[in-house]
Amino acid sequence: MTVPTSTDLQRYLDIATEAALAGGAMLQRYWGKLESIVEKGRPGDLVTEADKASEAAVLAVIRRHLPDQAVLAEESGQVIAQGETDSLLWAIDPLDGTTNYAHQYPFSAVSVGLLADGEPVVGVVYDAIHNDLFRAAKGLGATHNRQPMQVSQTARLADSLLVTGFAYDRRETPDNNYAEFCHLTHLTQGVRRGGSASMDLAYVACGRLDGYWERGLSPWDLAAGVVLVTEAGGQVTAYDQGPFDIFSGRILATNGVIHATLSHVLQQIKPFRDFEAIALTEATTP
């Protein structure tokens, strides 16, 4: 692979920004006006006309500038274009936080990321409802609304505010994150559940949150946000502090200062495996 130069990355960042803003314009247009909300097969996994309109707008921008580059978009569900530069892959979530958006809970975003041989190198996350724009490219720094941003300096887990999420298959799998959520709620100033992975990462990057962990994610959930965190001075790894793999579905992202401590705690927590039995008991109790 030819490693993208700083000039290349700046160009890709500008294209990603244009694409995210175009997708965001669609989200602003449909906000509070949805007519079609459909589950895609798993409870809570929704798609709306806003998702589709945003994705079309994002893809139109990328295709216009970079017709030969590969794209992986959530609603298309596959690489929809591939050419000579197939070591580069755009990973797009046109509406990250669809459930929030459908309920007019204002925490969602367009996420446009670029991978180079699987490594996130460009990321733009745009919260269209609040007109909040987060941008970064490898080696070029990170910005929030065009101003430099950096992670927090919170040094103790006890003083931290964390965020996490729950996978769509949480009802069926014992690997469901419930135990971690409860345990860390007791060890910190709080644990939030945002409902949008890209926004969670953007908030870690700008210092509003100190750490984030989650599982059951897809590359389009993470590609943009990972760059934001690392370029803002944070740290992104696997749960055990091993190398981050965007295709693993798992991530630990922090301000870097609490990273080792949070990693250690996560590895000590035993999974909560009895949820299904408890739910069944409650359902059958008079």
Q: Would you write out the chain's pLDDT as a tens digit for each of its 286 residues?
A: 567 999 999 999 999 999 999 999 999 999 999 887 776 555 556 778 999 999 999 999 999 999 989 999 877 755 555 454 458 999 999 999 999 999 999 999 999 999 999 999 999 999 999 999 999 999 999 999 999 999 999 999 999 999 999 876 655 666 788 889 999 999 999 999 999 999 999 999 999 999 999 999 999 999 999 999 999 999 999 999 999 999 999 999 999 999 999 999 999 988 766 555 544 444 444 4
Say which DSSP state 177 is in: S
Strand partners, 163: 192, 212
User: Which of 186, 216, 221, 183 minimizes the C-alpha distance to 200?
Assistant: 221
Report pLDDT for 36: 75
What ranges do the domains of the chain cover?
A: 6-148, 157-268
Do residues 54 and 47 touch, judged by C-beta distance below 8 A?
Answer: no
Q: For residue 253, which amino acid is it?
A: A
Report pLDDT for 45: 61
CATH number of the 157-268 domain: 3.40.190.80
Give dist(CA 41, CA 2) in Å, integer: 39
The pair of structure tokens assigned to 73 is 């978009």
Locate all alpha helices (DSSP H) within 66-177, ordered by sequence: 98-102
Say which DSSP state 79 is in: B
- pTM of this prediction exceeds 0.75: yes
Q: Which CATH architecture group holds 6-148?
A: 2-Layer Sandwich (3.30)
